[in-house]
Amino acid sequence: MSPDREHPLDPILAKRQQIARLVEIGQRVGYGLFAVAIVGFAIGLATGWNDTFTVVVIGSLLVGSVILAPAIIFGYAVKAAEREDREGGHHTH
């Protein structure tokens, strides 16, 4: 059986694939919460601001940031590891 993207034999590749899936979920959730904040802000401005809009906007931005920041960092790490694998993993100093 040859390794593929669905069932890699290398445990490091399997872990990287798992992290990549979590990164994708984290980015979707984080950016989705940012969208909620933007929509909440717009609706609040259009209809009259109240405490509910404050909670929705600030809460969405805070939770979205907490989720999105590590997702972005780990996403770059996965891409860097994949790039290094493609380039043969050799560095010249």
Does some domain include residue 13?
Answer: no
Please state the pTM of the whole predicted model.
Answer: 0.79
Does some domain include residue 9?
Answer: no
Does some domain include residue 47?
Answer: yes
Which residue range(s) make up the domain with 31? 24-86
pLDDT of residue 9: 77
Closest CA to 81 of 2, 4, 6, 15: 15
Does some domain include residue 12?
Answer: no
Contact 40, 60 (CB under 8 A): yes
Does some domain include residue 69?
Answer: yes
What's the number of domains the chain is made of?
1
Closest CA to 81 of 9, 7, 2, 13: 13
Could you report the average pLDDT of every consecutive run of 10 residues in the chain (93 residues)? Answer: 59 92 98 98 96 97 98 96 84 50
Does some domain include residue 6?
Answer: no
Supply the mean pLDDT for the chain: 90
Does some domain include residue 45?
Answer: yes
